[in-house]
Chains A and B, each alone.
Chain A
């Protein structure tokens, strides 16, 4: 630490931190309700998958040639081995997929391990109860989100892709790769990749999960012939449902990584209390400041 001033050098660029209201309360509530529902749906969904730990394509199951399977085979030494099959390929996944330790530490047959399922031990009936309850909660929360986003113009103002967003995609990719953080107003709005990810989850992945979920019902299929024709059958639907789940989990992992990358405390606070700190270059701050101070909830979220 030097006390000597260095007058010959220009002073470092000065920044000013401003706190804005990033996310309004309905959005914050719906975000966390959504997370709760998704956790319950993934856990109970894996429980349901475990009842028949194989995926197929088409209308009916072709048991000998699954697309994907997490099975258990008895080795020559009598020990159980977990085998994950993807097409013709086979991988030993003992300990995680196919065979994993139960709560007593004994290896048991289980497509996905007990620590990832709800309930933690084999119980299809209970898994179904969890799944259907949280499916309703998730869908109702999703409908509320859509209605609110339209009514509050969140969708139109914050999520809709503008011509400018398309132009900025290459730069946004470069910024992400170089770990360059946006400042000022740019930091307070969604970047184009973020918009694409959110729109994809809301308008592609979520409807896909709902439709593939419903079309596994023999009763609902009586009115979903168009969908079955499109995807090729009930087993295709089940596989797509699983893929949708996988993409949701992947999205969530990337989402969490991005939260850390962008500043975990600031981002988390913005989704809990709504307050978000943005760094403005001092000279530019007054000119470009378009965010109202906290307390004025009229425009921003």
Chain B
């Protein structure tokens, strides 16, 4: 019965085999990652992720926190100081000329000055911001529920998505950051067009003058520097066609986990 005895030569062989298998495995993974069909296969669970999250959470609210838990610094990420000409012009004037536009598949396209937004019934919420990178910060937000703005503009039948157009050019190639959500998330009570953070105007690094808070989503789904909210039947014609700046780089559209 020598089956159970590993001789030294065999041991060497085994060690070599394990090293080769390990190296081969990783090289194989990289080769698979370059294979479009395989990457599509990996992405095939995304609709399942979305459906299960929707099914389990319904329209439940994201956790809210006491003011004592607000993070000392709300870590900014992505664009922190947009340099596009239209943004620089607005910033110089203290955002006095800022207008939020609502357009697309609506009965009544609308435009709001900051003052008009501030005069509307507001919602305040202290929530945790989860970056796709893994870190979290807690901040307080005040803004107008997107649902209220959509109701004023009267969404037309056929509209399925809300597309947010932003001032910042994160990839520095002349394009602009954009994002999209569906109407279920658009009408969620914690989806607000925020104009204040921790009781003051939103700092430039965090999206001044207006950004979205869509609390049950990761950070990249909550665009900063928003100037236009567009209702659309599909998002394929915007940007790279995947529904958002980071989605065009391969990130998932739903962004719930």
Contact = CB atoms under 8 A, between A and B. Distances in A.
Given A43-B29, A61-B136, A61-B137, A219 B216 contact: yes
A158 interface: no
Contacts of B46: 132
Contacts of B130: 216, 218, 234
B170 to A, nearest CB: 15
B43 A51 contact: no
A223 B57 contact: yes
A37 interface: no
Interface string A169-199: 0000000000000000000000000000000
Nearest to B46: A132
A277 interface: yes
B184 to A, nearest CB: 12
Nearest to A121: B30
B107 to A, nearest CB: 31
B26 A120 contact: yes
B58 to A, nearest CB: 8
Interface stretch (B82-90, B108-116, B247-255): B247-255
A214 interface: yes
Main secondary structure of the interface of A (DSSP, over half): helix
B48 A222 contact: no
B69 A48 contact: no
B9 interface: no
Contact of B62 (A125, A132, A218, A265): A218
Interface string B202-222: 000000000000011110000
Contact of A52 (B6, B131, B215): B131
Contacts of B93: none
Given A120-B30, A225-B63, A228-B63, A218 B44 contact: no
Contact of A118 (B29, B41, B134, B252): B29
A125 to B, nearest CB: 4
Contacts of B61: 222
B198 to A, nearest CB: 14
A119 B26 CA distance: 8
A225 B64 CA distance: 10
B128 A60 contact: yes
Given A51-B133, A61-B137, A119 B33 contact: yes
Contacts of B217: 218-219
Contact of B3 (A218, A222, A234, A265): A265
B132 A115 contact: no
Nearest to B59: A222
B31 to A, nearest CB: 10
Question: Which of B3, B4, B25, B138 has its CB near the most chain A CB atoms (within 10 A)?
Answer: B4
A125 B250 contact: yes
Contacts of A149: none
A260 interface: yes
A109 interface: no
A59 B49 contact: no
Contacts of A59: 65, 69, 128, 136, 138
B56 interface: yes
Given A125-B250, A136-B48, A222-B62, A61 B4 contact: no
A263 B134 CA distance: 42
Nearest to A225: B63
B8 to A, nearest CB: 14
A128 interface: yes
Contacts of A265: 3-4, 6
Contacts of B25: 39
A220 B131 CA distance: 15
B257 interface: yes
A128 B42 CA distance: 9
Given A52-B131, A59-B69, A228-B63, 7 more contacts: A123-B250, A217-B53, A218-B62, A218-B217, A221-B63, A222-B60, A223-B56
15 contacts: A39-B25, A59-B136, A124-B251, A125-B249, A128-B252, A130-B33, A132-B46, A136-B45, A217-B53, A219-B62, A219-B216, A234-B136, A264-B6, A265-B4, A279-B1
Interface of B: 1, 3-4, 6, 14, 25-26, 29-30, 33, 39, 41-46, 48-49, 53, 56-57, 60-63, 65, 69, 71, 73, 75, 128, 130-138, 215-218, 246, 249-252, 256-257
Interface of A: 17, 39-40, 43, 48-49, 51-52, 54, 56, 59-61, 63, 115, 118-121, 123-126, 128-130, 132-133, 136, 214, 216-223, 225, 228, 233-235, 238, 260, 263-266, 277, 279
Kindly list the 10 A-B residue pairs having the minimum CB-CB distance in the complex, ordered from nearest. A217-B257, A125-B250, A219-B256, A263-B4, A222-B60, A52-B134, A51-B133, A129-B42, A52-B133, A61-B135
